[in-house]
Amino acid sequence: MDTPLDMKSSGMKNKRPTLQDVADLVGVTKMTVSRYLRNPDQVSPPLQTKIGEALDHLGYIPNRAPDILSKSKSHAIGVLVPSLTNQVFAEVIRGIESVLEPAGYQTMLAHYGYSKEAEEKRIAALLSYNVDGLIISESYHTERVRKMLSVAGIPVIEIMDSVSPAIEQAIGIDNQAAAYAMTECMIQKGHRKIVYFAARMDQRTLQRIRGYQTAMHDNGLTEMCLSTDSASSFTLGEQFMKEALAKQPDTDGIFCTNDDLAIGALYACQKAGIKIPEEMGIAGFHGHNIARVMVPLLATVITPREEMGRLAAEHLLSRLQGNPVSQKIINLPFQIEPGESI
Amino acid sequence: MDTPLDMKSSGMKNKRPTLQDVADLVGVTKMTVSRYLRNPDQVSPPLQTKIGEALDHLGYIPNRAPDILSKSKSHAIGVLVPSLTNQVFAEVIRGIESVLEPAGYQTMLAHYGYSKEAEEKRIAALLSYNVDGLIISESYHTERVRKMLSVAGIPVIEIMDSVSPAIEQAIGIDNQAAAYAMTECMIQKGHRKIVYFAARMDQRTLQRIRGYQTAMHDNGLTEMCLSTDSASSFTLGEQFMKEALAKQPDTDGIFCTNDDLAIGALYACQKAGIKIPEEMGIAGFHGHNIARVMVPLLATVITPREEMGRLAAEHLLSRLQGNPVSQKIINLPFQIEPGESI
DNA sequence: TATGATAATGTTACAGGTAACAATTCATGG
DNA sequence: CCATGAATTGTTACCTGTAACATTATCATA
């Protein structure tokens, strides 16, 4: 005569409990339960106990859907990065979450693998979930993306790049200036035939190339660039190294668009018995953690990735609180770390 | 006499357009527009054109909120990992998304920094957004987490670990067996005084330690373990190396719970002039990409991270289509890569 | 031209929480 | 013992897209 032990075994739908279910159990309306959840003191002490027990017993889980529907406020922030495997973005994300999480916001992460088409789809998806704000990391967008963002009417912050014209607000570094500075540094150290290794030709890489080219030109040196559209990797750095030596045997310096390529190139030299930095100077970009411990220490451009994420989140929160854009473009400092490899 | 150029400048609320707005513009009911969006052929050709134009003109963005509310289907999958900066999880996530994205599912990523408390909060947050399924990467859960998951009534898949009892379904590797195999391999290569470096004492690390201990014991060797609760890093590997040599100067092997520690330890040896592998064998775990190119090549346990993510997503999709759990525990193979460092 | 079938469009109700307002209870002082 | 107001609880409406059903338009055929 017993009822089934639980709903699962009874073949019922086992739907997750709603406020109504809790209210029915206690014998009040769901409004009362709602009040309890938002501020327990709004209901009488005896009900507080009963409602608390009922919530616990049923295992009530809050449901944001109604709120999102009625107030168009999801308390979720969309974060769009090109890649998750790239350590750089992982650190930016950590910075973002370190601010959003304590503020009660959920981050909705999406990535688009550097494809404009995917970016469009991902932004549409994030907007369809009614995110309250967006942090994106590209500087060029299709017309449709711009329209979507404008229509959505939510604050948008672009990160990584402080040079391209911002939609509303951009926080990043000046990639061209950083690349210029590193190239200058390599030249000062005596390198002359410096080749640039580039992968994934996005805006940031193009700007770095421009910085490198300008520095070479300003010093009366000849530039040479090896590039590909595919993803960068340690192995690609090795390949490029071999290619550079084949094309220009007297190459004495390599500046890479990121540390992955640089590390690959460095190991390729070690395997080939090329002395670093005497015979070949190698520099990277972005300060991969490993660059700071390896032997020899890799020359690299150190960028404030985590702080960039933090700042982006802070400015976004500020705008969600109704404040206007305080500063359209925020340019963060970078640092040239010569290491031991140039 | 002109109307303002756009709504922004008119001080209006600039709310994002709804189906009703589109319908009003065309002169039909929103139901007709809804039909057009789901299957254009359901409306007459002239209306198809007009609705298409209106949608475009207003920049309509679909809104999932009503659907989530009425059907409790969000087409979002929650993915919970301990850390995003850890490359291992980035690759798992890539595997997951490679399956979910083409299937029309949005991933909602959350991480909890190895804290049980944060895990609870994160799972509650994901459930409050009505995710249709969950992929989580811990094997031990608080009672409250178990209750939430049971009440939510959505498919849950645990990844990383194939040994702990699965809530519903687990996909991972046998960490203990893998650590045993690598320890055996080190012993075979002649190392005797092998020390284990562990950070972040989660279940997986504990199982690896057990594998190491068993292998040492089975070979009549003495075990020694350096561990900390804090996060692993290259620098920590360096510190541990110094500590191990101080405590046990005749240490001739290091087995690390991950490649980050191993790489740090390896460079520490290089800086101290200790020859690898002659004087010191070093092995890692998980096959960090860099381990596959560095000099010397790092001995490591190669795990199918991306495939693990793919499989988890595929099984989740299958269950979302109503299929039952086909296999409660799926044990993926690992591979011992001796490299040149042991 | 009437009839029935089919295509095209409209109407209504619903999902679950909460703002806004309404109603009820209860204690207190006159 | 009732008026008054504060404290507590209830009622109604709303947010947006769509399933389910209802209605109207269109057209071929008897």
- The answer to whether B164 touches B186, Cβ cutoff 8 Å, is no
Q: How far is the CA of A29 from the C1' of C19 (A)?
A: 16
Q: How many angstroms separate the CA atoms of B217 and B224, rounded?
A: 11
Mean pLDDT score, A257-268: 94
List the single residue in B with minimal CA-CA distance to A57. B147
CATH of domain A75-173+306-333: 3.40.50.2300
B20 touches A: beta carbon within 8 Å: no
Mean pLDDT score, A109-131: 91
Q: How far is the CA of A63 from the C1' of D6 (A)?
A: 32
For the residues of A34-90, what is the DSSP string, one character each?
A: HHHHH-GGGS-HHHHHHHHHHHHHHT-----HHHHHHH----EEEEEES-SSSHHHH
Q: How far is the CA of A62 from the C1' of C14 (A)?
A: 20
- Through-space distance between the first and last CA atoms of chain A, rounded to whole angstroms: 83
B21: the nucleotide nearest its CA (via C1') is D16
Positions on chain D within 7 A of a protein C-beta: 7-12, 14-20
Express each pLDDT in A66-116 by its tens digit.
999 998 889 999 999 998 888 899 899 999 999 999 998 999 988 888 888
> Residue A133 class from Cβ within 10 Å (0-12 exposed, 13-18 middle, 19+ buried)?
buried
Q: DSSP H helical segments within chain A, as ranges?
A: 19-26, 30-38, 45-58, 65-71, 87-100, 116-128, 143-152, 175-188, 203-218, 234-247, 259-272, 305-320
CATH of domain A175-302: 3.40.50.2300
Q: Do domains A8-63 and A75-173+306-333 have the same CATH topology?
A: no
- The answer to whether B283 touches B182, Cβ cutoff 8 Å, is yes
Can you state the percent helix, strand and coil of chain B, rounding each to 5? 45, 15, 40
Q: What is the DSSP letter of A18?
A: -
Number of CB atoms found within 10 A of residue B142's CB: 13
Touching A: B residues 258-287, CB under 8 Å: 263-264, 267, 270-271
Least confident segment among A9-23, A188-202, B54-68, B231-245:
A9-23
Tell me the two tokens of residue B76.
């979002």
For chain A, percent of residues with pLDDT exceeding 90: 77
The domain covering A8-63 belongs, at the CATH homologous superfamily level, to: lambda repressor-like DNA-binding domains (1.10.260.40)
Phi and psi at B210, nearest 5°, equal: -60, -40
- Through-space distance between the first and last CA atoms of chain B, rounded to whole angstroms: 82
What was the pLDDT predicted at A10?
34
Give SS3 for A135.
strand
B58 touches A: beta carbon within 8 Å: yes
Q: Which of B72, B119, B126, B68 is nearest to A106 (CA)?
A: B126
Model confidence at B216: pLDDT above 90: yes
For chain B, percent of residues with pLDDT exceeding 70: 96
Model confidence at B57: pLDDT above 80: yes
Interface test with B, best of A256, A290, A341 (most B CBs within 10 A): A290
Domain extents for chain A?
8-63, 75-173+306-333, 175-302
Q: Which CATH architecture has domain B75-173+306-334?
A: 3-Layer(aba) Sandwich (3.40)
Q: How many angstroms separate the CA atoms of A269 and B314, rounded?
A: 42
Q: How many angstroms separate the CA atoms of B76 and B74, rounded?
A: 5
Confidence of residue A65 (pLDDT cuts 50, 70, 90): very high
For chain B, percent of residues with pLDDT exceeding 90: 77
Number of CB atoms found within 10 A of residue B245's CB: 18
Express each pLDDT in B99-116 by its tens digit.
999 998 999 988 888 888
Q: How many angstroms separate the CA atoms of B205 and B196, rounded?
A: 11
